[in-house]
Structure 1
Amino acid sequence: MTELHPMIAKVTQRIALRSAAGRRRYLDLIERGRDAGTNRQNLACGNLAHGFAASGEDKPVIRTGAAMNIGIVTAYNDMLSAHQPYGRYPEAIKLAAREVGATAQVAGGVPAMCDGVTQGLAGMELSLFSRDTIALSTAVALSHAMFEGALMLGICDKIVPGLLMGALRFGHLPTIFVPSGPMPSGLANKEKQRIRQLYAQGKVGREELLESESASYHGAGTCTFYGTANTNQMMMEVMGLHMPGAAFVNPGTKLRSELTRAAVHRVAAIGWDGDDYRPLGHCVDEKAIVNAAVGLLATGGSTNHAIHLPAIARAAGIIIDWTDLAELSRVVPLLARVYPNGADDVNAFHAAGGMAWIITELLGNGLLHRDVLTVARADLIDYGRMPRLENDALMWDEPPTAPGDDAILRPVSNPFSPDGGMTLLAGNLGRCIMKTSAVDASRHTIEAPARVFSDQDQVMAAFKAGELDRDVIVVVRFQGPRANGMPELHKLTPPLGVLQDKGFKVALVTDGRMSGASGKVPAAIHLSPEALGGGPIGKLRDGDLVRVCAVTGTLEALVDPADWDAREQALAPPPPFDTGRELFALFRQHSDLAEAGASPILAAMDAEA
């Protein structure tokens, strides 16, 4: 077995030491969950009868308690393209469960918000907290004590992190995540980006823009760019929580159906009554969390996981921070270029070797922990194999020896970049993340006067008026979790790209988020502490010189210290009252910092502990 890279070992050990007390409490918690109440054998007759009353032909088996009953937690809706296929999954899962003597029930549904629909609108202010709502809904579903295993049906941005956070509270259950796969490729992503920029400049109209978008997002499955949804699928693979190779197989195919069937059979095989018990809470340990971070860096994944990964880790009693991510980024090379970091989409990535190549190459160079407990039969090496059908039987090929397209995938010996492109910036404005993997090296340092805004609509108005046609640091504050739920500022990507293409030095600084689809414009994001409550970004004024530097890892307002110290904080804009935002007031008031996961429920849980 290849020796682990010293930095991977160092960061893992530091995380384990930092997390020791919390991890011990968590493992004790899930042990009690298995033995002291949250299982079917402890239900009274009236409780149990309620649980199987409508189970039809499965009723006798559920009643005896002699076989695993699998709880299905589904994020199905048919507005969200990636989740539309899940409508038919429960019946297929029940049939597959009966094949191995088990049963399955839909334990509950969770909301599935589409960020693509809500981008730039008031509804986006519910997006991040939908993750915590999903975690709560997952816990409600699994709290019925009817299940010895679980299948999570979810794929998109906040949904997989929320499902995982909620399922970890019931970490004594063996649990497998079941994806639905990406839609087939449509209009090339670069062409879509070109039309968006033309629209931002007023050179094409709404009808041409809508035609372009419709050609891009045209069927069932995840969007094909490498944003947060597809980064989720990468992470589930590298953490060993999928069936191997399940991430990027298209919906509606025989291979997709067989992978789902295999997940049902496998979860039935790893229950606590057998000799291969693999509970979720043991699979998600410090090594698995580090593997997820390494996969994120090696593939140029979504910056949203700089928030989601700390939240997932905390749900398992583990503490990871941006310093850990930054140190890992320095030694993990960029091995993939998938749009927006490259020209090709996730279907091309998968065809070139995809996750099988990434995991094989990282393991072979000591950059992943191989000795982790996965839901598969061996260890992480299983995830270096690509699934296929032979005479309708599911099989896995041997690990690839080379990538199929070196414009998309590279070996460690010849990476696209020697580092993972996730940089921690710190200075007198706080701590933040900058993703450099899609940003040209000539733009890794930007120094320019600030133009300060309180929302992205103000930025759009200034852009259309020509007020930003210069070197500029666009500052958008009061976008943090406590201010307005930390919406993504994806609407800013086209106009900022236009300014950069005109030759101006441009960067974004914000306490909000950018989409996993953000790309070529330098963006210092997730700035903590946020403006609301006293973050230094609240002191910035129009014209202040600001320096954003990924080379030195600094973010600074170049203002006389005496002047800076004497300044008062800007006042927050009055909150709007629409789209249900007011229902999440409690979440906003109790949310943690972005670096800790921006989670109100984990903050409350830690306080109670």
Structure 2
Amino acid sequence: MHPTIEQVTQDIIERSHKERNAYLKYIDAQAEKAPVRSHMQCANLAHAFAACPIAEKQDLAETPKPNIAIVSSYNDMLSAHQPYKDAPDIIKEAIREAGGVAQFAAGVPAMCDGVTQGQPGMELSLFSRDLIAMATAIGMSHNTFDGALYLGVCDKIVPGLLIGALSFGHLPAVFVPAGPMPSGISNKEKARARQAYAVGKISRKELLEKEAASYHSAGTCTFYGTANSNQMMMEIMGLHLPGSSFVNPYTPLRDELTRQAARQVLKFTAMGDDYRPIARMVDEKALVNAIIGLLATGGSTNHTMHLIAIGRASGITLNWDDFDRLSKVIPQLTKIYPNGAADVNHFHQAGGMGVLIAELLKHGLLHKDILTVADEKGMDSYTKEPVLTGVKLTWKPCPEQSRNPDVLSSVEKPFAPMGGLHVMTGNLGRGVSKVSAVAEEHQIIEAPAVVFDDQEDFLAAFKRGELEKDFVAVIRFQGPRANGMPELHKLTPPLGVLQDKGFNVALVTDGRMSGASGKVPSVIHLCPECEMGGPLAKVLEGDIIALNLQTGDINVLVDEDEFNARTPIPNRANNHHYGMGREMFGHFRLGASTAETGASNLFPVD
């Protein structure tokens, strides 16, 4: 094991000792060898199985069969979650045949950032994670279950499901992916169309045709944004079955993997001999593995918040310094859009998660000894890939090396010597930058600030032709407490246009960017946020801002005494708290912690 990984892990264990022990003590007290429902009052139990078929009523009333909860984010508007429509029936049949009972415990809300991008609804997106966690807890609170299956894919949904699951950490849990849609037009072609539309070279109809050829069927979007970063993380933490994350939906293999996930959770209940509660699976080593996977693949910056919130749900304190220290020793091993031309289907075909995990294990860059949902404990099972022979599901060893080294490389020949995310620090606070998709010639910028308090104002200035120059766009009051921290991905096409024209441009904000954002240098998640008096609220039009993505420095080049004497400009916007449901989320905004502590309402932060 690489000494830096060992040291970071040990530091996390030591700083989390008190909270982690308190969490595990509570979880251990909840475990029941007998079916949980056996302790229920008759009236409670009768309510719990009133809608079940006669045979299942008898099972739940009279036998020691385990009862498995299904919690799903299905809706038929989200392409990624539409394949879950038939999953409950598949799961129930598989569990019934394996000697258990399954009940659909809860449906959780699931919104699509691709639909709400640049719209008012995007201001609910980040908070939907905590709402999903709460909805998960409500479904599980009936306390009749001995295990759970969690069905989710996209941005805030998997982190929300996992946070909710950890509140019931005494139960075993398996996460069930749905898989990506088949490849459509290339991501480069899609990006070119967006930039062409931004400068009026193609019509709305032409752009829509390109977008529809990219997002064209059921399944996860194929670029490597937050949704597919979720899937990578669930597998590298051992919460998915090996090799299951990127199998396309509506295929025989996909359906059989769903059946196997259902059968698998039955093996790990407290009623059996191989009890594996999710509280014990999501430990310090598993979370470090998740960070390593994120860095090695150039994954989404959103997980610099989500993983911290997940850690807090399991009594573990992560911080951005952990990401930064690991980034210095984890090489970038993939080139998946926006970090390259390929999509996740190409990554999967190249050997996918099995080859990636094997490569990291071989070089001591991943914790091997974690508890997983595979039959064999540890990560060795995750160096295999699933195959279907007739109707029989088995796993075979992955290829010893990538089938396509232009998409999935090796530690000996990485695409970059360090991970794809850097922590940025300086007199503008602390933030995050995704380096993996930014060309080296654009990683160091020094230019005057152009300051906006709303992304729409930036877009209007672009359309007026006022941004044909070198500049650093400062977009203020975009943090969790200001307006819910919407993604600012709508800014990517115009910034890309200006960069392609030869201008040195960058983005600095206390808001977020999409997991799909890439080639324009940006420093995001700046803390403290402007709403809390952060230093970004002191920046004036024309101030020179210097950012260096290679060294992790972000500074405004103003005399220190002068800058300190400035009063932060207050947030004068009042149009982000009402309409499209935003008026109901005031308490989420007021109670949100910082981006660096997970941007959450659910866990108190000192």
TM-score category of the 2 structures, normalised to the smaller one: over 0.9
Alignment of 1:233-272 (within 5 A): 233-272=231-270
Q: Does 1:391 align with 2:390?
A: yes
Residue 417 of structure 1 aligns to which amino acid in structure 2? A
Query: Hey, what does 2:425 align to over in structure 1?
Result: 426
Q: CA deviation at 1:467?
A: 1.1
Given candidates 315, 326, 329, the residue that maps to 1:328 is 326
Query: Hey, what does 1:437 align to over in structure 2?
Result: 436
Q: CA deviation at 1:550?
A: 1.6
Query: Hey, what does 1:274 align to over in structure 2?
Result: 272
The answer on whether the counterparts of 2:190 and 2:214 sit within 8 Å (CA) in structure 1 is yes
The answer on whether the counterparts of 1:311 and 1:597 sit within 8 Å (CA) in structure 2 is yes
The answer on whether the counterparts of 2:31 and 2:270 sit within 8 Å (CA) in structure 1 is no
Alignment of 1:549-588 (within 5 A): 549-576=548-575, 577-588=578-589
Q: Does 1:15 align with 2:12?
A: yes
Query: Hey, what does 1:376 align to over in structure 2?
Result: 374
* SS of match in other structure, 1:247: coil
Query: Hey, what does 2:21 align to over in structure 1?
Result: 24
For 1:38 and 1:602, how far apart are their aligned partners in 2?
30
Residue 531 of structure 2 aligns to which amino acid in structure 1? L
Select between 568-577 and 268-277 the one with higher mean Cα deviation.
568-577
Q: CA deviation at 1:110?
A: 0.4
* SS of match in other structure, 2:602: helix
Q: CA deviation at 1:286?
A: 0.1
For 1:11 and 1:579, how far apart are their aligned partners in 2?
42
Unaligned runs of 5+ in 1: none
Unaligned runs of 5+ in 2: none
Query: Hey, what does 1:102 align to over in structure 2?
Result: 100
Query: Hey, what does 2:598 align to over in structure 1?
Result: 597
* SS of match in other structure, 2:519: coil
Query: Hey, what does 1:34 align to over in structure 2?
Result: 31
For 1:39 and 1:488, how far apart are their aligned partners in 2?
42
Alignment of 1:196-595 (within 5 A): 196-378=194-376, 379-576=378-575, 577-595=578-596
| Cα deviation digits, residues 318-346 of structure 1 (max 9, x gap) | 01111100110000000110111011110
Return the TM-score normalized by structure 1.
0.98
The answer on whether the counterparts of 1:40 and 1:65 sit within 8 Å (CA) in structure 2 is no
| Cα deviation digits, residues 95-148 of structure 1 (max 9, x gap) | 000111101000011000010000000000000000000000000111111100
Return the TM-score normalized by structure 2.
0.98
For 2:43 and 2:34, how far apart are their aligned partners in 1?
16
Alignment of 1:16-95 (within 5 A): 16-35=13-32, 39-56=36-53, 57-95=55-93
Residue 582 of structure 2 aligns to which amino acid in structure 1? R
For 2:581 and 2:145, how far apart are their aligned partners in 1?
33
Q: CA deviation at 1:35?
A: 4.8
Residue 532 of structure 1 aligns to which amino acid in structure 2? E
The answer on whether the counterparts of 1:385 and 1:397 sit within 8 Å (CA) in structure 2 is yes
Residue 197 of structure 2 aligns to which amino acid in structure 1? Y
The answer on whether the counterparts of 2:33 and 2:271 sit within 8 Å (CA) in structure 1 is no
Residue 487 of structure 2 aligns to which amino acid in structure 1? E
Q: CA deviation at 1:36?
A: 11
For 1:92 and 1:392, how far apart are their aligned partners in 2?
15
| Cα deviation digits, residues 407-465 of structure 1 (max 9, x gap) | 10111011001101211111111000011111011111111000010111011011111
The answer on whether the counterparts of 2:280 and 2:371 sit within 8 Å (CA) in structure 1 is yes
Q: CA deviation at 1:257?
A: 0.5
The answer on whether the counterparts of 1:38 and 1:145 sit within 8 Å (CA) in structure 2 is no
The answer on whether the counterparts of 1:38 and 1:143 sit within 8 Å (CA) in structure 2 is no
The answer on whether the counterparts of 2:35 and 2:66 sit within 8 Å (CA) in structure 1 is no
Q: 1:469 to 1:200 in 2, by over 3 A?
A: same
The answer on whether the counterparts of 2:335 and 2:341 sit within 8 Å (CA) in structure 1 is yes
For 2:522 and 2:563, how far apart are their aligned partners in 1?
23
Query: Hey, what does 1:165 align to over in structure 2?
Result: 163
Q: CA deviation at 1:598?
A: 0.2
Residue 93 of structure 1 aligns to which amino acid in structure 2? I
For 1:574 and 1:451, how far apart are their aligned partners in 2?
18
For 2:35 and 2:137, how far apart are their aligned partners in 1?
12
Q: CA deviation at 1:569?
A: 1.1
| Cα deviation digits, residues 526-574 of structure 1 (max 9, x gap) | 1011000211110011000001112221111111122112211112033
For 2:248 and 2:57, how far apart are their aligned partners in 1?
34
For 2:586 and 2:222, how far apart are their aligned partners in 1?
34
Q: CA deviation at 1:38?
A: 10
